[in-house]
C-alpha cells in the first residue's frame, strides 16, 4: 500500500500511507473529511494523492493546507511549524544531519500557503516516504 497521499490527508489526503498506523490513518481521515467541505477538492484528487500522485490543483492545495493546520504542521495563517516537522522527521530518521538536510531542502516558503504546503508535501514524500504528519 502506498503512502497516502503518499503524504495527507497530505495527508489522508494526502497522507494515507503504508507507513501510517490505523490510528494515524483514522486521525487523518477525520481531518481530511472536515477539510474537504472547505477546500472543495474532489474525491478523485484525494485518491490520486493517496496513490502518490499530487496533482497541481488549487482545491488539492487548499486541502493540504487545511489538514496541515489541523494537525499542527502549520499555523492558522498557514506558516509552517518547522519544529513540528523536524520532530516528525526524527521519528523516521535516526540521523540529525539527514533531518536538517531535508528541512533545508523541503521547508521552503512559497508565494502562498497553498503553494508552500503543496511543495513541502511533495518534497517530504520524495525524501522520506515513511514520513507521518501525525502521532
In tens, the pLDDT along 17-59 reads 445 678 878 888 899 999 999 999 999 998 888 777 889 999 9
Which range has highest mean pLDDT (10-14, 15-19, 62-66)? Answer: 62-66
pLDDT of residue 47: 85
Is the pTM of the predicted complex or chain greater than 0.85?
no
Task: Answer whether 100's CB lies under 8 Å from 48's CB.
Answer: no
Residue with the three cell numbers 498506523: 21
Task: Answer whether 10's CB lies under 8 Å from 22's CB.
Answer: no
Residue with the three cell numbers 477538492: 41
Task: Answer whether 63's CB lies under 8 Å from 36's CB.
Answer: yes
Half-sphere exposure of 3 (CA within 13 A, CB side): 20
Q: Given 3-state DSSP classes, what are the helix, strand and coil percentages for the chain, each rounded to the nearest 5? A: 55, 5, 40
Rg (CA), the chain: 13
**What distance separates the 2 farthest-apart alpha carbons in the chain?**
39
pLDDT of residue 74: 94
List residues bridging with 6 in a β-sheet.
4
Domains of the chain in sequence order: 22-127 (1.10.238.20)
Gap between the Cα atoms of 26 and 21, Å rounded: 9
pLDDT of residue 36: 93
The count of other CB atoms within 10 Å of the CB of residue 54 is: 24
Set of cell numbers at residue 101: 538536510
Instruction: Taking residues 72-94, report their average pLDDT.
Output: 91
Amino acid at each position: 500500500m502506498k503512502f497516502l497521499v503518499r503524504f495527507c490527508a497530505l495527508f489522508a489526503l494526502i497522507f494515507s500511507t503504508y507507513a501510517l498506523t490505523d490510528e494515524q490513518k483514522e486521525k487523518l481521515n477525520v481531518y481530511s473529511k472536515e477539510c474537504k467541505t472547505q477546500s472543495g477538492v474532489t474525491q478523485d484528487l484525494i485518491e490520486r494523492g493517496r496513490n502518490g500522485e499530487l496533482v497541481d490543483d488549487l482545491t488539492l492545495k487548499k486541502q493540504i493546507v487545511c489538514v496541515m493546520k489541523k494537525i499542527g504542521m502549520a499555523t492558522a495563517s498557514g506558516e509552517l511549524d518547522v519544529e513540528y516537522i523536524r520532530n516528525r522527521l526524527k521519528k523516521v530518521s535516526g540521523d540529525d544531519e539527514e533531518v536538517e538536510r531535508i528541512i533545508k531542502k523541503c521547508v521552503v516558503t512559497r508565494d502562498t500557503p497553498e503553494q508552500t504546503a503543496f511543495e513541502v508535501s511533495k518534497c517530504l514524500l520524495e525524501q522520506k516516504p515513511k514520513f507521518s504528519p501525525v502521532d
